[in-house]
Structure 1
Amino acid sequence: MNAEMDSGKYTYDFCRRKCHDGDVQYDGIFFSGVSSTKIYCRSTCPAISPLEKNNSFYQNKALAEKAGLRPCLRCRPELAPDQPIREDSMWQINNIIGRIHQGIFPDGMAKPQLDEFTSIIGVTPTKYWKTIQLGFAKMLLTDTSLSEEEIAKITKFDTSENMVNELFQLYRRDPVKVRKPLKVEVEYGAKSCALLLFYRPPFDWSVLLNYFAARTITGVEKVTGDVYLRSFCLNGQQGWFSLQNVQDTNALRLEVHAPDLSCLMPLVWRVRRMFDLNADPLRLKELFKNDSILGSVWLRHPGIRVPVCWDTFEFTVRAIVGQLISVKTATKLVKNIVETFADDLLISTPKGIKKIFPSASCLRKMGKYSFGLTQNKIAAIEGFSQMVVEGIIDLNDIGNFDTFFQQCKSIRGIGEWTAQSIAMKGLGSKNAFPASDLGIVQAMSADSQRRTPAHINKIAERWHPLRSYAAMLLWTMYGNKEK
């Protein structure tokens, strides 16, 4: 096994065999390097397998580039799914990675944090940033018709000349000459582009779509056929996007329409988080296939994902409103809040997409409006909104879940269930577990013995550090029982 690759099951022979088979389930889990050509590839690359003496393997793209290899122009490593989310105990590292993918340069880090990142990832945050920055720029140059100046702005280069020069140094050829933009219908008054966001199969698109369809806020989002659409306001830029599964390529087709696409890096990161596109189904298989409680339901749903709301603040409002009431009733109440406080979308949009979900500054003082909510729920929404406005809670930089839980639960009306739900479906934690949820309690009490949340939490330790997937499977069990 090569020193560049993690130990364990990812031995040299294992990785070589998976690359030879073109196994798509390992896409983005590791990369194959070829010393004779100085190129590195995805596990799915259709090129002929290199000689053993020339072959090496790397746990991420940045490590391959650190070794002096350039990305393959055929399989395009910049399109591979990202590494699966790390354990909550490593949330700070994962938070840094997420910020980098959103186009935020990793400066101002303390030395212990810097050393921890370098030890775990294998390269410095600055080197990792450069790999992500260049990869995103290459993807936009190849797949869109955006100008070089626009792409440089999106990917945080000082000038388009610097961007093209750095890409030329990495790829050893002019990146402008490999442009093959995906077709997209341009909307009036907006810039438009399409991208393919890859995932590792199996991927249960219909279950995800049904989840969002049951919770769509009229005016903000909708599901039409097999397409999801919603509005956004990101970094001050308004727009809307659509998503559709392209099953034959194991990717979602994302179309974005906005007057200014400078927010494209954080938008793509949020969409990937929403639909859990970085999940590792093989790891879930190892955890659940033979589990005495969840094994049978996992076998029916091996493409399970954890859906995450577009915006953490938005989900927090949804979670507070949804306490002790049905999803259908909660969605209606949230719709009333949106109709009262939301801003109109100021560009041409599809029918039914016309509003932007209200910000924390809009909801910190809800005034005389009750919307059918209890005073405790109104106070909780206002209290959380105030903490976000004042910067006490920074939803874009959650460094520690324990601190976040304490901050949330310091607000009257937010308890353990709400805090765990926010972590899971608002922040994307894969280990959050709302043990007191009615559906989970009912599913875990299938033998007619009603279990307490404390008992359920104890049982759920067997699913650490992926308890959120266990919660999704338990909700599926509960839904099947109800039918």
Structure 2
Amino acid sequence: MHEDVERCTRAVQAKDARFDGWFFVGVVTTGIYCRPSCPVVAPKPKNMRFYPSAAAAQQAGFRACKRCRPDASPGSPEWNHRADVVARAMRLIADGVVDREGVPGLAARLGYSTRQIERQLNAELGAGPLALARAQRAQTARLLIETTALPMGDVAFAAGFASIRAFNDTVREVFALTPTQLRERATRGRTALASGALSLRLPFRAPLCPDNLFGHLAATAVPGVEEWRDGAYRRTLRLPNGHGVVALRPFPDHVACTLTLTDLRDLTIAISRCRRMLDLDADPVAVDDLLRADDVLASLVDKAPGRRVPHTVDPAEFAIRAVIGQQVSTAAARTHAARLVAAHGEPITDPDGGGLTHLFPAPEALAEPDPSALAFPRARRSTLTALITALATGDIDLDAGTDWDEARARLAAVPGIGPWTVETIAMRALGDPDAFVPTDLGIRVAAADLGLPATPAALIRRAARWRPWRAYAVQYLWATGDHAINRIPA
């Protein structure tokens, strides 16, 4: 989009927040870069330069605007709805793969050479994987500097910098302030939080309808791992360097996020996974405009625009839970999953004294589950065991950089996993915005009530007009039913 100068100029002049994260504008007369909705007076068009990423703007010599904080923009919706290698690479970079495994590790996960990955990212984003990861580290550093009282050396280490010098140089270059000046500016008149506890705002593109999003997470919450408490969805997080607990509370213009981490190096990854779970980088206007063009869906969209697809922080966990939930009620699925957690989950202490007691067990911890502990029919126990084995050995990979079609094929090859389970995992674990579940009971009931075709094949043909946003159409169809997933708990 950044190459469409006229459209970008109009967005900046209109201060259109919808385009935040889609592109960044550098102002040659000031040497700063901003998000399109920056509240300062729009520069003259001749002084604007447009970039596809914050990293590209930084590489061009621009520093971040102190007013609009472009590094804190919602992410581009491109990376979560596209399935090509650039989008997969961006999802993996957001998940910290470059910091943990380097560019060779990123390339290996994608099945390309390092040179190919660098060339494709530079062509589309104006920056290579190292620059993109560096921009992400700068944002993490700013969060830690402004919201904690950690010593700067600890901030540098937690943000992923290899040295204090690299940390200092990056902060000065990106924010035009030293780390100490950045903290003094941010903490004037207030006290920074103690290390390990962070409160931040997760931005999103309006509108956002929280009802089905938080309602679904709360209604399906596994006791011990998730809970709805004091108006917030809380859950445990398994992270590369330790674990964490997050509380997420919806507000009209942001989602409040409180994170407690055992290792602050996991901050960026935890934020990224929470944003993906809540689908906060979606472009609801684009989605709703397409769905509203269908007369059957138009009234549903107008009634509650901005519905998101509830995703997950742990794709392997969700796949296991999807099999557990086959052909049983929501309450029964929660009960079965809670038994699995109690028997095999890793115990943790809830920092707020709530009901979170365990991490959901990793596939490796479930490699040999006790069949007698699973009150399932024998066929479903076999399916669950086969899935767990495939996840533990890597035969099925559901991480952020997974090829969606290949993952579907591997899931479908597991005996007992049918189209409903495959598409449910694709929708909520893989994040495919076009996943569709025509055999789902709630979809069939909604289809009958709305006069849509009754058979799966006919409904799939009818739903072709909803592509590439069929997963969002599912949310609107589910919302026609009186189910707890459609409302935030009182």
Q: Per the alignment, do residues 475 and 378 of structure 1 end up closer, same or farther by CA in structure 2, a change over 3 Å counting? A: same
Is 2:8–2:50's contact at 8 Å kept on the other side of the alignment?
Answer: yes
Q: Per the alignment, do residues 34 and 448 of structure 1 end up closer, same or farther by CA in structure 2, a change over 3 Å counting? A: closer
Q: Per the alignment, do residues 81 and 118 of structure 1 end up closer, same or farther by CA in structure 2, a change over 3 Å counting? A: same
Structure 2 equivalent of residue 194 of structure 1: 199
Query: Deviation string for 1:329-383 (max 9, x for gaps)?
Result: 2122212222222221046442211111111122222224243212222212211
Q: Per the alignment, do residues 449 and 280 of structure 1 end up closer, same or farther by CA in structure 2, a change over 3 Å counting? A: closer
Is 2:21–2:75's contact at 8 Å kept on the other side of the alignment?
Answer: yes
For 2:276 and 2:81, locate their aligned partners in 1 and report how far apart those are by CA, in whole Å: 15
User: Which residue of the other structure, out of 225, 236, 256, is the alignment partner of 1:220?
Assistant: 225
Which letter maps to 2:167?
M
Query: Deviation string for 1:407-441 (max 9, x for gaps)?
Result: 11121111111111111111222121122212222
The structure carrying a bigger helix percent of its residues is 2
Is 1:145–1:193's contact at 8 Å kept on the other side of the alignment?
Answer: no
> Matches of residues 321-336 of structure 1 in structure 2 within 5 Å?
321-336=324-339
Structure 2 equivalent of residue 377 of structure 1: 380
Report the alpha carbon displacement of residue 153 of structure 1 after superposing the two structures with TM. Answer: 2.3
Structure 2 equivalent of residue 206 of structure 1: 211
> Matches of residues 34-433 of structure 1 in structure 2 within 5 Å?
34-86=27-79, 90-105=83-98, 107-108=103-104, 109=107, 110=113, 111-179=115-183, 180=186, 191-247=196-252, 250-346=253-349, 348-396=351-399, 398-433=401-436
Query: Deviation string for 1:73-97 (max 9, x for gaps)?
Result: 1111111000004476634322211
Which letter maps to 1:212?
L
Which letter maps to 2:479?
T
Is 1:196–1:251's contact at 8 Å kept on the other side of the alignment?
Answer: yes
Q: Per the alignment, do residues 436 and 119 of structure 1 end up closer, same or farther by CA in structure 2, a change over 3 Å counting? A: farther
Q: Per the alignment, do residues 177 and 295 of structure 1 end up closer, same or farther by CA in structure 2, a change over 3 Å counting? A: same
For 2:244 and 2:192, locate their aligned partners in 1 and report how far apart those are by CA, in whole Å: 15
Query: Deviation string for 1:13-65 (max 9, x for gaps)?
Result: x4334333433222222222211001111122121221232123333222322
For 1:251 and 1:159, locate their aligned partners in 2 and report how far apart those are by CA, in whole Å: 34
For 2:464 and 2:216, locate their aligned partners in 1 and report how far apart those are by CA, in whole Å: 26
> Matches of residues 447-462 of structure 1 in structure 2 within 5 Å?
450-462=453-465
Is 2:145–2:179's contact at 8 Å kept on the other side of the alignment?
Answer: yes
Task: Please give the secondary structure, in 2, of the residue aligned with 1:283.
Answer: helix
Report the alpha carbon displacement of residue 321 of structure 1 after superposing the two structures with TM. Answer: 1.4
Task: Please give the secondary structure, in 2, of the residue aligned with 1:140.
Answer: helix
Task: Please give the secondary structure, in 2, of the residue aligned with 1:432.
Answer: coil
CA RMSD for the aligned pairs? 2.5
Is 1:441–1:456's contact at 8 Å kept on the other side of the alignment?
Answer: no
Structure 2 equivalent of residue 467 of structure 1: 470
Name whichever of 318-327 and 170-179 sits farther off.
170-179
Task: Please give the secondary structure, in 1, of the residue aligned with 2:430.
Answer: coil
Is 2:148–2:193's contact at 8 Å kept on the other side of the alignment?
Answer: no
Is 1:153–1:262's contact at 8 Å kept on the other side of the alignment?
Answer: yes
Report the alpha carbon displacement of residue 257 of structure 1 after superposing the two structures with TM. Answer: 1.3
For 1:423 and 1:70, locate their aligned partners in 2 and report how far apart those are by CA, in whole Å: 39
Which letter maps to 1:157?
F
Name whichever of 216-225 and 389-398 sits farther off.
389-398
> What TM-score results when the alignment is normalised by the length of structure 2?
0.89
Q: Per the alignment, do residues 221 and 184 of structure 1 end up closer, same or farther by CA in structure 2, a change over 3 Å counting? A: farther
Report the alpha carbon displacement of residue 479 of structure 1 after superposing the two structures with TM. Answer: 4.3
Task: Please give the secondary structure, in 2, of the residue aligned with 1:294.
Answer: helix
Report the alpha carbon displacement of residue 280 of structure 1 after superposing the two structures with TM. Answer: 0.6
Is 1:380–1:411's contact at 8 Å kept on the other side of the alignment?
Answer: yes
Name whichever of 171-180 and 72-81 sits farther off.
171-180
Q: What fraction of aligned residue pairs are identical, expressed as a percent?
A: 27
Q: Per the alignment, do residues 152 and 395 of structure 1 end up closer, same or farther by CA in structure 2, a change over 3 Å counting? A: farther
Is 2:434–2:468's contact at 8 Å kept on the other side of the alignment?
Answer: yes
Is 2:396–2:410's contact at 8 Å kept on the other side of the alignment?
Answer: yes
Report the alpha carbon displacement of residue 283 of structure 1 after superposing the two structures with TM. Answer: 0.9
For 2:80 and 2:138, locate their aligned partners in 1 and report how far apart those are by CA, in whole Å: 27
Q: Per the alignment, do residues 450 and 282 of structure 1 end up closer, same or farther by CA in structure 2, a change over 3 Å counting? A: closer
> What TM-score results when the alignment is normalised by the length of structure 1?
0.90
Is 2:325–2:333's contact at 8 Å kept on the other side of the alignment?
Answer: yes
Report the alpha carbon displacement of residue 394 of structure 1 after superposing the two structures with TM. Answer: 2.8
For 1:51 and 1:240, locate their aligned partners in 2 and report how far apart those are by CA, in whole Å: 46
Structure 1 equivalent of residue 2 of structure 2: 5
Which letter maps to 2:353?
P
Task: Please give the secondary structure, in 2, of the residue aligned with 1:445.
Answer: helix
Name whichever of 268-277 and 471-480 sits farther off.
471-480
Is 2:224–2:355's contact at 8 Å kept on the other side of the alignment?
Answer: yes
Task: Please give the secondary structure, in 1, of the residue aligned with 2:250.
Answer: strand
Which letter maps to 1:107?
V
Which letter maps to 2:25?
S
Name whichever of 158-167 and 442-451 sits farther off.
442-451
Report the alpha carbon displacement of residue 127 of structure 1 after superposing the two structures with TM. Answer: 2.6
Query: Unaligned regions of 5+ residues in structure 1, if any?
Result: none
Which letter maps to 1:27?
D
Query: Deviation string for 1:140-164 (max 9, x for gaps)?
Result: 3233333322332233211222111
